[in-house]
Amino acid sequence: MSFNVQEIRELREGRYVIIDDEPCKIVSITTSKPGKHGSAKANLVAMGLWTGQKRTITAPVTDKVQVPMIDRRQAQVVSVHGSTVQLMDLETYQMFELEIPSEFEGQLQAGADISYMEALGRRMITRA
C-alpha cells in the first residue's frame, strides 16, 4: 500500500483520503470553531473511487488520516474480450486485464489509447 499521512486540517475538497480501506475523493469539508469543551472538529464527506459510496468522517482537525498515492497512467488496448479488456501500459509495457466500466462499453477497440488510475493496488479505466 502506498499512502501518506496528513492532518485533517491540511485536506481540501477534490483531494483524496482513505476511509474504511477505500480511496475516496473529498466532496466537502466543514469545520467548527474550537470551544469550551475541546478542539475544532471537522466533518469530511467523500465518495469512494471504486464503489461510488458516500462515506463520512467526523474528527478533531488535528487527527491524522491516510492519503492514497494515486497514479494516473496511459495504456493501449490490446484486445477486448466481452466485459474485460487487455491493456498494455505505455511506460512500463506491462500487460494486464481490467473490467470495462459501463460508461465505456462498446467504445473500446484494439489499438486505442486509454487513461487509467491506480490506487492501493487496484486499477480503473477513467477515460477512453
Mean pLDDT of each 10-residue bin along the chain, 128 residues long? 87 93 93 85 93 92 92 93 91 91 85 91 88
pTM of the prediction?
0.81
Q: What is the pLDDT of residue 19?
A: 92
Q: Which domains does the chain have, with CATH numbers?
A: 3-68 (2.30.30.30), 71-127 (2.40.50.140)
Q: What is the pLDDT of residue 1?
A: 53
Exposed, middle or buried by CB within 10 Å (0-12, 13-18, 19+), for 23? buried
